[in-house]
């Protein structure tokens, strides 16, 4: 019996050995048959991924990307060491020691799956993932796994480890249309790969396992759990110290929840570039890796975006709170509550700094809310006061601010308290350029490109209101009117023949009149009645011709006295170009936003440069006129409708406010010799901005916020009077020269009071 049992064991062992040998032989035979049929690795050796069109500021900051795949290629050695270590910790710790298949990893995964009773762990190496991503489908079959393993071995024989890792770094899909880690860093964190932290590296390295499930935008909590796992693996493998591990765990990641995933928001400008490139090169721009460098400056563009945000948030505050934008039921269980908040905010993108949040509690002097990233914030007493109408029990159903309400909050600067706000209906635009050559340095075409792609800087033809008055005054200077010429700020009735419509009884903005005043005072105070008389003095036809020289479309300049109040139509860019003539001393510069176009390897395909005023830009205005008009517009800031700009503490600023009928448009156009900036606020379907909304109160803050940054480090330049300008002491009430007191005024030499060629001397009252 014992001999029979021994013989049975012998048969069993022999059978198992036979099966193993047979299986091995079958495997070898299958491999021998499949290996020759494996695809060529030429696609890996000559890796040419589809590269998007990438758009940069002049100083090299990425502002736009257009293509089938969002991708940026980096060399292995260019990728941060900490990222490479995070990838190895998460995906393949023995990558540099195995030959394509990690035997120990396979055994570990098999034991793990066996003990768990299911498939919980895989054993794909980085090389196997490269094989799958380049050559195989996602089909789950034994044959595909054999092909994957054999391809991995073939790849290991023909490429170095660094070459394989480079393919992985650049080709792997990481969610949000991002292919490769460089693109993912830009999309998720808005920064170049070289700048990521340990915590960010761990988050990115956790994505390949399941880009959708571990996407920090869509699933922050699962992404966080995966990140912590990767950090733990990095610590256990000795890639980071315990202190680094704890620091990375504590870091709150600035994940981008907005479609704008670049270092600087310049979506309208990027779209301008895309349209130009498509017209020039066609569909190939989306796959060929071309690069376009624009004239924008990253620092100034950020300031412009912040300025528009500030202007709109302040406008919202003045108009009152509009109520929450939705609500969600909050479970009692803290974990379930956090999940409910996460899901409620998943589809609500940040809008130019306006961050979605869910109210957790409402107290007497505070509102507590949670952001999508899990941070809890507190809104103070000023915010409960702002939202008082919606905290009342009488608030309409669905509009009451209570736990579960979905709101918008904003922080206007780091360290400042959070404010309650709401998504605006009103729009805004800002553009700034160099008056010396026309290069556009900042361009914000609207509050949020993802909500409204209409580019108000170049497409919105709106009435400029009083911001057009300087061009009327400039024309009058050519006709002999001087800053000291006295006009009557008195009621006026205009015949229908001079308005093109009906009898017109214009009024000043505040409805009052002040009687005789010099031209300088009239512009500073933006007196409508005086401006009409100035237009009459200069002549309508001459004013239209003169304004066209600044770049305004002559067909949009109506031949009526209403032109004095800016009833023509213009765009913010056209206004900036026109004001540049004053800023640079009389030259017309052509605005431009493209610097150069290169191929993916950096070879220059196109090169653009503006024509500087020193190198041939056409002169369209007497330098004396530019100087005197600048002097007049400096007084608009010093003592007129734009005094809030004095907070910049500069003496070289000049500009003009503009407000149209019924407060439909608010403008400010201002400059110094270094920059011209134009801000506009209004509704796309023109309607009143509301009582009290003016260019000085609504648009000017945008300009001030931008200039505070753009002019940092720029010396206060001043404006030396050109040849032919005479400075004289005059009596401001009469405009007559005086040796006793008076104020200093500037004149064309031939038009100075008392000069034989002057068309008028001393007191001149332009009235009815």
Question: What are the catalytic residues?
Answer: 91, 466
DSSP 173: B
Handedness of CA 557, 558, 564, 570 (dihedral sign): negative
517 C-beta neighbours (distance < 10 Å), count? 18
Are 160 and 108 within 8 A, CB to CB?
Answer: no
Q: Which residue has the tokens 């500073």?
A: 524
Euclidean distance between CA atoms 572 and 105, whole angstroms:
63
Euclidean distance between CA atoms 394 and 697, whole angstroms:
33
DSSP per-residue string spanning 106-160: HHHHHHHHHHHTS-------HHHHHHHHHH--S---HHHHHHHHHHHHHHHHHS-
The DSSP bridge partners found for residue 54 are 65, 291
Euclidean distance between CA atoms 48 and 167, whole angstroms:
10
CA terminus-to-terminus distance, the chain: 137
Q: Which residues does 488 contact at the CB level (< 8 Å), separation at least 6? A: 515, 516, 529, 530, 533, 765, 766, 767, 768
Tokens of 104: 């120990």
Q: Which residue has the tokens 């098999």?
A: 110
Are 596 and 293 within 8 A, CB to CB?
Answer: yes
Are 304 and 706 within 8 A, CB to CB?
Answer: yes
Euclidean distance between CA atoms 685 and 679, whole angstroms:
18
Euclidean distance between CA atoms 180 and 212, whole angstroms:
15
**Alpha-carbon 304 to chain mean position:** 9
Are 136 and 144 within 8 A, CB to CB?
Answer: yes
Euclidean distance between CA atoms 423 and 312, whole angstroms:
10
- Burial string for 150-165 (b: 16+ CB within 10 Å, else e) reads bbbbbbbeebeeebbb
Are 231 and 240 within 8 A, CB to CB?
Answer: yes
Query: In terms of Cα–Cα distance, which of 231, 215, 408 is closest to 326?
Result: 408
What are the Cα distances from residue 144, in Å, to 22, 103, 140, 729? 21, 18, 7, 93
Euclidean distance between CA atoms 15 and 3, whole angstroms:
18
Are 678 and 464 within 8 A, CB to CB?
Answer: no
Are 277 and 64 within 8 A, CB to CB?
Answer: no
The DSSP bridge partners found for residue 358 are 370, 406
Euclidean distance between CA atoms 443 and 591, whole angstroms:
12
Residue 692 CB-density burial (10 A; 0-12 exposed, 13-18 middle, 19+ buried): exposed
Q: Which residues does 697 contact at the CB level (< 8 Å), separation at least 6? A: 666
């Amino acid at each position: 019996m014992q001999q029979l049992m021994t013989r049975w064991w012998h048969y069993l062992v022999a059978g198992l050995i036979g099966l193993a040998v047979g299986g091995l032989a079958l495997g070898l035979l299958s491999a021998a048959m499949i290996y020759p049929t494996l695809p060529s690795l030429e696609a890996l050796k000559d890796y040419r991924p589809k590269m998007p069109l990438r758009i940069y500021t002049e100083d090299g900051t990425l502002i736009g990307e257009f293509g089938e795949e969002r991708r940026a290629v980096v060399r292995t050695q260019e990728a941060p060491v900490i990222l490479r270590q995070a990838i190895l910790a998460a995906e393949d710790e023995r990558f540099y020691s195995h030959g394509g298949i990690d035997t120990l990893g396979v055994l570990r995964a098999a034991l793990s799956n066996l003990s768990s009773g299911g498939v919980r762990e895989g054993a794909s190496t980085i090389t196997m993932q490269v094989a799958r991503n380049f050559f195989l489908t996602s089909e789950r079959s034994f044959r595909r796994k054999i092909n994957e393993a054999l391809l991995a071995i073939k790849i290991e024989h023909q490429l170095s480890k660094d070459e394989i890792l480079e393919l992985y770094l650049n080709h792997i899909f990481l969610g949000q249309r991002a292919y490769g880690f460089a693109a993912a860093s830009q999309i998720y964190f808005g920064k170049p790969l070289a700048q990521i932290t340990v915590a960010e590296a761990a988050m990115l390295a956790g994505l390949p396992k399941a880009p959708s499930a571990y996407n920090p935008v869509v699933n922050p909590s699962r992404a966080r759990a995966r990140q912590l796992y990767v950090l733990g693996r990095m610590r256990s493998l000795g890639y980071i110290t315990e202190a680094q591990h704890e620091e990375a765990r504590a870091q709150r990641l600035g994940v981008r929840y907005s479609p704008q995933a670049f270092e600087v928001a310049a979506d309208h400008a990027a779209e301008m570039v895309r349209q130009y490139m498509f017209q020039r090169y066609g569909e190939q721009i989306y796959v060929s890796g071309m690069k376009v460098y624009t004239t924008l400056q990253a620092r100034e563009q950020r300031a412009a975006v912040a300025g528009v945000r500030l202007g709109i948030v302040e406008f919202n505050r003045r108009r009152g709170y509009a109520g929450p934008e939705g609500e969600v039921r909050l479970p009692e269980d803290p974990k379930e509550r956090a999940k409910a908040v996460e899901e409620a905010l998943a589809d609500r993108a940040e809008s130019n700094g306006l961050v979605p949040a869910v109210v957790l509690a409402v107290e007497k002097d505070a509102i507590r809310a949670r952001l999508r990233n899990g941070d809890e914030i507190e809104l103070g007493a000023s915010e409960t006061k702002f939202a008082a109408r919606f905290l009342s029990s009488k608030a309409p159903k669905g509009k009451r601010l209570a736990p579960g309400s979905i709101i918008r909050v904003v922080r206007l600067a780091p360290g400042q308290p959070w404010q309650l706000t709401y998504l605006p209906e009103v729009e805004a635009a800002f553009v700034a350029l160099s008056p010396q050559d026309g290069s556009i340095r900042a361009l914000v075409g609207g509050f949020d490109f993802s909500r409204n792609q209409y580019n108000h800087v170049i497409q919105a033809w709106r009435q400029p209101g009083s911001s057009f008055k300087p061009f009327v005054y400039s024309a009058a200077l050519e006709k002999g009117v001087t800053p000291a010429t006295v006009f009557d700020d008195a009621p006026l009735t205009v015949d229908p023949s001079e308005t093109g419509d009906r009898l017109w009884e214009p009024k000043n903005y505040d409805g009052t009149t002040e009687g005789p005043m010099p031209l300088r005072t009239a512009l500073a105070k933006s007196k409508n009645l005086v401006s009409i008389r100035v237009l009459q003095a200069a002549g309508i036809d001459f004013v239209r011709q003169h304004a066209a020289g600044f770049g305004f479309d002559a067909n949009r300049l109506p031949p009526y006295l209403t032109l004095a109040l800016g009833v023509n139509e213009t765009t913010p860019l056209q206004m900036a170009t026109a004001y540049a003539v004053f800023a640079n001393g009389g030259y017309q510069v052509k605005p431009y936003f493209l610097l150069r176009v290169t191929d993916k390897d950096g070879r220059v395909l196109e090169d653009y440069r503006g024509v500087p005023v020193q190198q041939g830009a056409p002169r369209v205005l007497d330098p004396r006129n530019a100087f005197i008009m600048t002097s007049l517009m400096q007084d608009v800031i010093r003592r007129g409708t734009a005094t809030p700009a004095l907070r910049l503490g500069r003496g070289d600023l000049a500009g003009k406010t503009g407000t149209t009928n019924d407060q439909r448009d608010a403008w400010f156009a201002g400059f110094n010799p270094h920059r011209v900036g134009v801000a506009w606020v209004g509704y796309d379907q023109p309607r009143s901005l509301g009582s009290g909304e003016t260019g000085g109160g609504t648009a000017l803050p945008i300009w001030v916020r931008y200039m505070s940054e753009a002019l940092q480090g720029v010396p206060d330049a001043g404006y030396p009077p050109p040849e032919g300008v005479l400075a004289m002491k005059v009596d401001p009430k009469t405009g007559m020269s005086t040796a006793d007191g008076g104020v200093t005024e500037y004149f064309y030499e031939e038009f100075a009071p008392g000069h034989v060629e002057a068309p008028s001397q001393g007191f001149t009252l332009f009235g009815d």
